[in-house]
Amino acid sequence: MSLIVQKFGGTSVADAEKIRAAARRALRAQQQGHQVVMVVSAMGKNTDMLVDLARQVCDQPPAREMDMLLSTGEQVSVALMAMAITGLGGRAVSLTGGQIGVKTDSSHTQARILSISTERMQRLLDGGNIVIAAGFQGVDEDLNITTLGRGGSDTSAVALAAVLGAQMCEIYTDVDGVFTTDPRLVADARKMSNVSHDEILELASLGAGIMHSRSIEFGKKFNVPIHVRNSGMFTDEPGTIIGPIPESENRAVSGCALTKAEARITVVGVSDKPGVSLAIFESLADVNVAVDMIMQTAGHDGRADISFTVLESDLHRALAAVQAAAEGVEATQVLHAANVSKVSVVGLGMATQTGVADRMFRALAESGVNIEAITTSAIKVSCLVSREQGLAALRAVHTEFELGRPPSERATFADSLAAANAAKEADAMAVVSRLQSMEDLTVHGVELDDSQAMVTLTDVPDSPGISADIFEAVAAAGILVDMIVQSIGANGKTIVSFTVPKTQVDQATAAANQVVEKLGGTVGSESDVAILSVTGIGIRSHTGVGLRMFRALSAKDINIELVSTSEVKVNVVIDGAQGKVGLSALEAAFADVIG
Ligand code: ADP
Ligand code: ASP
Ligand code: MG
């Protein structure tokens, strides 16, 4: 018998009428012949209200007690949902995370799922019940209640769908599906018929609040077809399928996102030698802070600056950790700025098309937005901007890439559903059967690209439009740029490094020289660099991946020149002569997790 999981978010169960509407949907699915598991969030803004209450009684509530408190929100809604179903003549049993047997680790407020037992749910389903599972929660080994992080009910739903072998995981929410960007921020955002795992993973971790990014890790790892749709009482329109294929093969950018509350930390004047990034990022991983936009500026006099962004909510923890580590790496100071936002464009098509980065930079410049930092990876470009310009920046890029207009050739809802089902049929479990626990890191492989050279512009005076000037000049020379890392040094001048194919390094240097003649600054190049990458799923949310890389390379005395991270990949640039040694060091370091 086919089984479906239906998840209802907070706004979709905000009052009695909505709860009854959700209950009717589940009953309808059951009448159509499915077994139904509902995953329910806390009603409306209940979780926010509980967080606020906690803060009123204690400045820093203990994480264990926070979980005890927050889990009650979901407990209220599952009980009401079971009553609503009973009231409509159906049969239902509500279960907490602990009652289901959602086992997690003990990192309170950010717990990861280790395993889920299906036995009790299956027994209830076979007895004709609708099972109503509390989202967002589990229990650790000692039966302490844990929660999965804000927005975590999505992750509960997709994880349940994975272990139950569900035919579909439906995510009911307050918008019609996944849009090209948050429709509340950009009026002409467009609903996509489907979106690929890798794109939504990036979008979600770069600020698109529509899905908890860890839920997509499950979706991808266990090939769960996900359908995001509107819970509105009178709608039955198809929403968006999250599956293996993108909406369009030939569009470079498929969506954009804004992280409003971002903060930047710069460790100034560290000694420029192997092991320094390791020390800093080790201190951050120890306190479970995920970093993004890592920018390492080539040093003067054997000193370098390392700068990176974290969520503003992690700033205090991150600063404390970095300050403690700073002394060991002889840093002269640790700076931070909390008033920044990150705007990103994402698209699978970017990996094979040129001219995305420079178009984005030009669009921002034309809207008067100054770019404070840039990092890129194969399928995204992120720019750090001042917070007050964040929204204007998001709108500018949405317009520039014409995201409001449907792509000329695109996969239909039906195509993507078929692709998602086909992937489900394939033997996905083989890949994950080696995992000890469900949310373990999955690494697909380690790669060496030894075809690249690197160009670096230093001391470029900071002004709007410089990145656009630089990358337009490079694109005009027909050069394919791979990684870009741009940052503003402690001296207020911009530093930009980018990699290009070795065969094009002379043209790239010439193009860069033309630009610095106009703007000021100097150009240097390294004709032989190696890019080492680790690819997998949930790479950034597992803070240990970058760390393992840094540790393995540092043990071989290899200096890391550039870093870029994404949810599916971490890239580092090192000296070309050390490429092969670096590759084998990484292969050894990840041997136990390569799936
Ligand atoms: P739920 O309570 O159902 O989990 P959320 O508030 O977590 O709902 O997520 C839905 C919200 O996500 C929408 O109301 C919308 O404002 C926001 N959102 C952000 N980015 C996107 C996007 N790319 N597409 C659709 N919605 C988005
Ligand atoms: N109720 C939790 C929250 O508000 C979990 C969720 O809604 O996904 O974060
Ligand atoms: Mg949500």
Q: Is 417 left (phi over 0), alpha (psi -120 to 50) or beta?
A: alpha
Is residue 228 scored above 80 in pLDDT?
A: yes
What is the number of the ligand closest to the CA of 11? 1
Q: Which residue has the tokens 């404070």?
A: 372
Beta bridge partners of 94: 132
pLDDT digits (tens, 9 = 90+) for 470-509: 999 998 888 888 899 998 877 788 899 999 999 999 999 9
Q: Are 84 and 13 contacting, i.e. CB atoms less than 8 angstroms apart? A: no
Is residue 269 scored above 90 in pLDDT?
A: no
Q: Pick the atom of ligand 2 nearest to 42's CA.
A: 1
Residues 6 or more apart in contact with residue 465 via CB below 8 angstroms = 361, 362, 365
Cβ of 47 below 6 Å from ligand 2: yes
Q: Are 7 and 39 contacting, i.e. CB atoms less than 8 angstroms apart? A: yes
Find, among 174, 193, 196, the residue nearest to 184 by Cα.
174
Q: Mutation test of ligand 2: which of 41, 50, 213 has the most ligand atoms closer than 8 Å to its C-beta?
A: 41
Q: Pick the atom of ligand 1 nearest to 180's CA.
A: 23
Residues with CB under 6 A from ligand 1: 9-12, 41, 151, 173-175, 178-179, 181-184, 208-210
Q: Which residues surround ligand 3, an ion (CB under 5 A)?
A: 9, 151
Is residue 382 scored above 90 in pLDDT?
A: yes
Paired sense of beta strands 569-575 and 562-565, if any: antiparallel
pLDDT digits (tens, 9 = 90+) for 40-74: 999 999 999 999 999 999 998 999 999 999 999 99
Residues 6 or more apart in contact with residue 365 via CB below 8 angstroms = 371, 464, 465, 467, 468
Cβ of 150 below 6 Å from ligand 2: yes
What is the number of the ligand closest to the CA of 42? 2
Is residue 161 scored above 90 in pLDDT?
A: yes
CA–CA separation, 195 vs 413, rounded Å? 10
Distance 220 CA to ligand 2 centre (A): 22
Instruction: Find the range with the poorest average confidence among 6-10, 325-329, 509-513, 538-542.
Output: 538-542
Distance 199 CA to ligand 3 centre (A): 18
Distance 175 CA to ligand 3 centre (A): 11
pLDDT digits (tens, 9 = 90+) for 15-41: 999 999 999 999 999 999 999 999 999
Q: Are 530 and 579 contacting, i.e. CB atoms less than 8 angstroms apart? A: yes
* pLDDT the model gives residue 298: 64
Q: Pick the atom of ligand 2 nearest to 150's CA.
A: 9
What is the number of the ligand closest to the CA of 74? 2
